[in-house]
Structures are given as C-alpha cells and as structure tokens.
Amino acid sequence: MIDYLSKLPIELIHKIMEHLSMCDILTSLSIVNKRLHSVAINYHRFQLDFKYVKKCQDFNYFCRRSLLLSFQIVSVKLMNQHDAAMPLKIHRFFSDVKITKNTFPILNSLSISHINHNLWKSIKGHIRQIKSLISISIYLSTTLPYNPACQLTVDILRDLLYWSSTLKNVYIEADDRLVDISRFNLRREQISSIEHLTLRYITINIQHLYLIVPNLRSFDSKIASVHHIQDTYLYSFQHLQQLSIHVNRFHMLTIEQLLYPMIKLNQLVITGNQMYNDICDGIAWERILTNIISFKFMFSFEENHDLIQLDSFRSSFWLEQNHWYVQYDYSKIGKFSLLYSIPYFMSTYPWFRMKGSIVSESTGQQPILFSNINRLIVDYQRPINNELRNRFTNIEELILEDNGKSFDMLINDIVPYIDMLFINSFTINQCFSEFDEDNFVQFIMSIPHLRSITIPID
C-alpha cells in the first residue's frame, strides 16, 4: 500500500493539522510513521480541545503533554456542557499545568465552561499569567440561581473588560434564562481595549458601554430600553463595524438615534419583540442604512396592531440597489405577526404563535424556506400550522414532547411534509402509556440517516 499522506509537503500536512485537535494529532497522526511523528511533535500551532477526553488517565496525560509542549499551543478548550466532570477537569488543569508568565507564550485563545463563582475565583489568577491571550470565551454554569448568575456575569465582565491591553475578544454566555445586568454599572477609571464583545442570553445597558469600550469593532447582545439617547451621541460606538442586537418594544426613532452615530457600521442584525408599527417604515430605514452592506432582521408584533403594508420595502433602494427582501406573516386568530428579512436567518421560528390561517406577503419571488432551522419539537397541544410545514427543509433533530397523541400527529401531520433525509437524531421526552409498536418501528426505519435515539425508561 502506497503511503500518500507521509509524502505530502510539510506545509500541506500543517494545513491539515489546523483542523485537528492536539489530542488527535498526538494519539493518531503522530503514530502513523516516523516522518509524521516528527512533523507532529514539531508542529507549532497545537489546538488543545478536551471535549472528547473522557477518561481520567487520558486527561492527565494531555495535561502533562501540554506542559511539555506549552510553547507550541495556540488555543485551549476546556468546555463541554454535557460533561459533569468538566469543572473538576478545569480546576485540575490550571492546578497541574502551573501556568506562569514564561509558559504558553503563544496561547491566544481560551474557552472554558461550567463557570461558577468558586471556579472563576480559583482560575482567574492563572489566566492572568497568559500574556499572549487575545480571545476568551466563558460559558456560565447552568445550575446557578438567577441572582448569583447576574452577579457572576458582572464580576467576570468587569475582570475581562480591564484584563490587559492584549485581550481583544470577549465572549460570555449564560443559560437561556436571559440574565439581566442592565442595572449594574461596569465603569472603572481606565478605558477597556476590548474590540469584539459578545454576550449571549445577557441583557445589558448599551449606554453603560459607551465610555468603557469606545473602540469596539463588533458587538452582539440583548440591550435594555434606551432613554435620553440624544445626550450620548458623542460617546456612541464610532468605530463599530458589526452590530447584532435583540430589543423589546422599540420605536423607529429609538433605532434611528441608536444607529445614527455609528458611522462605520456596515453589518447589522436586529431581532425585536413586541415592536411598534412605525418600525415597518421602509423609507425611514433607508435614511439610516446608507452604509450598511448586510442587513438582517426579524420583528414580532403582538395584538392590537394594524396589518403591515410592504409597499415602502419595494423601492429601488431595497429591491435593486441592495437586493434586500422582506416577508410578512400574520396569524388571524392569534393576531400575532412577524416581519423579517429573507432568506430567513434565525435558527428558530415561533410557529406555536401562528394559530389558524396565515396571511403571508413577500417582496421577493422565491418561496420562503427555514433552511437554518434544524430542530423541530412536535407537541399535539401546540400543532404546527399547515402553511408552515413545507418551510422546514433541513430538520436534523426531531423531538417528541409528550405522549402518544404527539406521535400520531408526527406520523399523520408532520412526516408527509418534511424531508426525512437530514434527520439524524430522534428524542422522546416522556414515556408512552401505549402505542403501536409496528408503526413506531416503521417510522424509525423510514429515517435513513438516523444516528441517535433517546427514549425514557419508565
């Protein structure tokens, strides 16, 4: 057998290694032959990822190797939300590796999960020793009560905003309860050097950041209501190029005042709940989107609002100059509606709010597809509208929420309308009291690429 891999130029092998974890390189690639062993050992851009290191002895081995190869490691990931032992692993890694200012000189990226107060307190001193760190991602523990989660988020953000002049990228993620830190003041005497800030499931007061991080290039978060924004024009993000925000109950005037000072902004994503109708003015949007290259949005509207007209979104600015198209879905019974950019960019769609017949209108010509949505929950108490089923074209995970009635609905009302080819995971959240075994087996066999089945045992 000809060994083509070992005959590849070393530059190409290094390119392949960029897509492999340090664990895979040391345990697989390096043992193929002597040349690949030499190439692997002398590789200078290791990415150490502990996600799939399950056994304690394997974890200890890679901790020891990381210390020996610390001058060759550029990123470390100690994160896996499904691994209950990860907090202990994180503590042991920082305790055993003994990070100092002379180790890990090229480590520029760090990601850690399961962070609570005690764990953060025990490791942050070690992390401070990493002088080359450019990017850090923090995933909070999902078991924290709400108030401690808020305080921990504030403490971590205060630490990282003023960490060092080399740290540029900060990512913090809470769980989906949406932690609100908008009432906390994050200011200190110095100015933060952070350029890219992402806060997932975290609500913040954007006005608190104006004086703290004036050099932001990108910002992604849910922001609280903005008041007296005209007084903050001078301090707004004049260097901001990418903005992704989630808002509630905003008028068009507030959006306009928020965006107007951001003169370098060219990529904009806005999702808004319970928005006011004046947000549906395409002409008003034209005034503030002059320099925007990419614009994605989704706005929801509750009861007691007028039907939205799309004529203002059919101008040459929208259709010819930028090729931006919008879709409007209105539920007659629930009086709930959505206005969003197409192609659809969200990973979820509030189909359970769309009750009864739906009025849909679009400024585009192509059919609306939810290709970004790969997870579908089937619940007979919250049926999916008939007019929406054909839009789900890329479902990978099917979840059956409750009992046999939902399974019957899945077989009769869902399966005939969705493509089963992409489904690889099927989950049942509750035990069935009784169901047709033959139908169940037949359904399972109809999913050609199914890799995972999760069923509760009573």
The pLDDT tens digits for 369-380 are 899 999 988 887
- Residues 248, 374 within the same domain: no
Burial class (CB in 10 A: 0-12, 13-18, 19+), 351: buried
Measured in Å, how far apart are the chain's first and last C-alpha atoms? 52
Report CA dihedral (56, 60, 62, 67) to the nearest 10 degrees.
160
d(CA 246, CA 39): 47
Host domain of residue 391: 369-458
DSSP 92-135: HHHHHH---TTS-TT--EEEEEEE-HHHHHHHHHHHHT-TT--E
Q: For the residues 235-261, what does the mean pLDDT come to?
A: 89
At residue 269, what are phi and psi to the nearest 5 degrees?
A: -130, 125
Band of pLDDT at residue 136, cut at 50, 70 and 90: very high
- Residues 244, 306 within the same domain: yes
Is residue 296 classed as helix, strand or coil in its secondary structure?
strand
Q: What is the pLDDT at residue 226? A: 65
**Residue 8 or 169, more confident:** 169
pLDDT tens digits along 394-408: 999 988 876 667 777
Retrieve residue 456's tokens.
Answer: 């509760």
The answer to the question of residue 63 being in a domain is: no
pLDDT tens digits along 78-89: 998 788 889 999
- Residues 297, 377 within the same domain: no
- Residues 232, 352 within the same domain: yes
The answer to the question of residue 440 being in a domain is: yes
Q: Do 206 and 235 meet the contact criterion of CB atoms below 8 Å apart?
A: no
From 170, 210, 161, 156, select the one nearest 190 (Cα to Cα). 161
The answer to the question of residue 398 being in a domain is: yes
Retrieve residue 262's tokens.
Answer: 């951001």
From 279, 287, 281, select the one nearest 259 (Cα to Cα). 287
Band of pLDDT at residue 35, cut at 50, 70 and 90: confident
Q: Do 410 and 398 meet the contact criterion of CB atoms below 8 Å apart?
A: yes
Dihedral over Cα of 433, 436, 438, 442: its sign? negative
d(CA 300, CA 272): 6
Amino acid at 434: E
- Residues 286, 383 within the same domain: no
- Residues 437, 310 within the same domain: no
Q: What does pTM read for this prediction?
A: 0.88
pLDDT tens digits along 204-242: 988 888 888 989 999 999 998 765 555 544 557 889 999
- Residues 265, 346 within the same domain: yes
pLDDT tens digits along 421-457: 999 999 888 776 666 778 888 888 889 999 998 888 7
From 163, 169, 69, 57, select the one nearest 120 (Cα to Cα). 163
Band of pLDDT at residue 320, cut at 50, 70 and 90: very high
Residue % of the chain over a pLDDT of 70: 93
**Residue 127 or 405, more confident:** 127
Domain boundary among 347, 363, 379: 363
- Residues 230, 342 within the same domain: yes
- Residues 268, 388 within the same domain: no
pLDDT tens digits along 259-304: 888 999 999 999 999 999 999 999 999 999 999 999 999 999 986 6
DSSP 396-413: -EEEE-SSHHHHHHIIII
- Residues 305, 391 within the same domain: no
56 has a pLDDT exceeding 90:
no
- The total domain count for the chain is 2
The answer to the question of residue 340 being in a domain is: yes
- Residues 411, 441 within the same domain: yes
From 141, 166, 161, 167, select the one nearest 152 (Cα to Cα). 141
- Residues 315, 288 within the same domain: yes
Q: What is the pLDDT at residue 166? A: 93
Domain boundary among 304, 336, 363: 363
Q: Do 330 and 359 meet the contact criterion of CB atoms below 8 Å apart?
A: yes
DSSP 44-95: S-EEEE-TT--SHHHHHHHHHHHHHTGGGEEEEEE--TT-TTHHHHHHHHHH
Looking at 225-350, which runs of residues are DSSP E strands?
242-248, 267-273, 294-301, 325-331, 336-342
The answer to the question of residue 27 being in a domain is: no
Dihedral over Cα of 337, 285, 367, 293: its sign? negative
Q: What is the pLDDT at residue 6? A: 67
Band of pLDDT at residue 157, cut at 50, 70 and 90: very high
Domain boundary among 344, 363, 382: 363
Q: Do 255 and 281 meet the contact criterion of CB atoms below 8 Å apart?
A: no
pLDDT tens digits along 322-345: 999 999 999 888 789 999 999 999
Instruction: Tell me the C-alpha to C-alpha distance, in Å, between residue 257 and each of 48, 223, 261, 287.
Output: 44, 14, 8, 11
At residue 253, what are phi and psi to the nearest 5 degrees?
A: -60, -40
169 has a pLDDT exceeding 90:
yes
The answer to the question of residue 191 being in a domain is: no
Tokens 């092998």 -> residue:
13
Round the average pLDDT of the chain to a whole number and report it. Answer: 88
Band of pLDDT at residue 72, cut at 50, 70 and 90: very high
From 389, 353, 395, select the one nearest 371 (Cα to Cα). 395
